[in-house]
């Protein structure tokens, strides 16, 4: 190795050796000190490079056990979630928005349980449609703890999605993707046939206690894409 220094160069060289089977799957590779000597850089630089590869699942590292090329690599993919309007703009389309419903209502058991809400407590239930170039893009069906977003906060022009991202950021949560058949109401809003297979994203957000639960149901044809 003689190319320009830098931990990224070290990573690329290591990646080359992995793909090239110079370092076969299951085998230990030279330790950091040896690589540093061979490549003419500090051990910390090698460490940074190998740690990065390990984070990507292309290497396994263990104290005292050394670094190995895994027999079965676990590739990791990442995708970003933020403001729906930005996603639409990123597709080169004109975003639109329409509030469909904004009421206080008793949530279904599943939701109420997640909120740890009492049997009679009402939650704010908001439904809104996001549009791309005027066509339905995504149906937002959200339950909100009223103490987070009081009645004086209107979602007429600003979607709950965007308000929350801007005002209740940095919270914890979980999410899951699933496929759902379009029910009559959803089919109407998304202008598709009832029973259509739709991609949905369920998401919960909580700080000290539950803040919001939302299902985003996307119009037919929508894909979540990523690179390996």
Partner DNA sequence: AAGTGGTCTAGACCACAAA
Partner DNA sequence: TTGTGGTCTAGACCACTTG
33 versus 105: smaller Cβ distance to DNA: 33
Under rule CB under 8 A, residue 90 binds a copy of itself = no
Residue 138 C-beta-side C-alpha neighbours within 13 Å: 24
74 versus 179: smaller Cβ distance to DNA: 74
Which own/partner pairs from 200-205 qualify as long-range (CB within 8 Å, at least 24 positions apart)?
A: 201/81, 201/175, 201/176, 201/177, 202/175, 202/176, 202/178, 203/81, 203/173, 203/174, 203/175, 204/114, 204/173, 204/174, 204/175, 205/164, 205/168, 205/171, 205/172, 205/173
List binders of a copy of itself among 145-164 (CB under 8 A).
Answer: none
Nearest to 132 by CA among 219, 209, 22, 19: 219
119 versus 179: smaller Cβ distance to a copy of itself: 179
DSSP code for 62: E
Under rule CB under 8 A, residue 82 binds a copy of itself = yes
Under rule CB under 8 A, residue 81 binds a copy of itself = yes
55 versus 109: smaller Cβ distance to DNA: 55
Q: Which of 41, 46, 49, 58 binds a copy of itself (CB under 8 A)?
A: 58
Report, in Å, the least distance between residue 122 CB and a copy of itself. 27
Report, in Å, the least distance between residue 25 CB and DNA. 16
- Tell me the sheet residues that pair with 178: 200
The residue whose two tokens read 């919960």 is 204
Pick the piece of the chain touching a copy of itself (CB under 8 A) from 14-22, 103-111, 139-147, 150-158: 14-22
Under rule CB under 8 A, residue 41 binds a copy of itself = no
> From CA 42, how far away is CA 130, in angstroms rounded?
52
Under rule CB under 8 A, residue 198 binds a copy of itself = yes
119 versus 223: smaller Cβ distance to a copy of itself: 223
Report, in Å, the least distance between residue 120 CB and a copy of itself. 31
């Amino acid at each position: 190795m003689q190319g320009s220094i830098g931990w990224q160069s070290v990573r690329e060289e290591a990646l080359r050796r992995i793909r090239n089977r110079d370092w076969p799957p299951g085998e230990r590779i030279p330790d950091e000190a040896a690589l540093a000597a061979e490549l003419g850089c500090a051990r910390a630089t090698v460490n940074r490079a190998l740690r990065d590869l390990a984070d990507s699942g292309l290497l396994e590292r263990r104290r005292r056990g050394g670094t190995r090329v895994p027999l079965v690599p676990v590739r990791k993919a990442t995708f970003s979630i933020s403001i729906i309007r930005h996603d639409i703009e990123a597709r080169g389309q004109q975003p639109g928005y329409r509030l469909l419903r904004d009421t206080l209502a008793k949530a279904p058991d599943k939701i109420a349980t997640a909120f740890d809400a009492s049997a009679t407590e009402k939650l704010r239930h908001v439904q809104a449609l996001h549009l791309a170039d005027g066509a339905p893009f995504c149906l937002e069906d959200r339950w909100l703890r009223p103490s987070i977003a009081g009645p004086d906060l209107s979602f007429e022009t600003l979607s709950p999605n965007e308000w929350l991202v801007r005002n209740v950021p940095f919270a914890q949560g979980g999410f899951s993707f699933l496929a759902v058949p379009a029910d009559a109401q959803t089919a109407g809003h998304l202008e598709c046939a009832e029973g259509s297979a739709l991609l949905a994203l369920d998401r919960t957000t909580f700080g000290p206690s539950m803040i919001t639960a939302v299902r985003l149901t996307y119009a037919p044809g929508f894909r979540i894409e990523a690179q390996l």
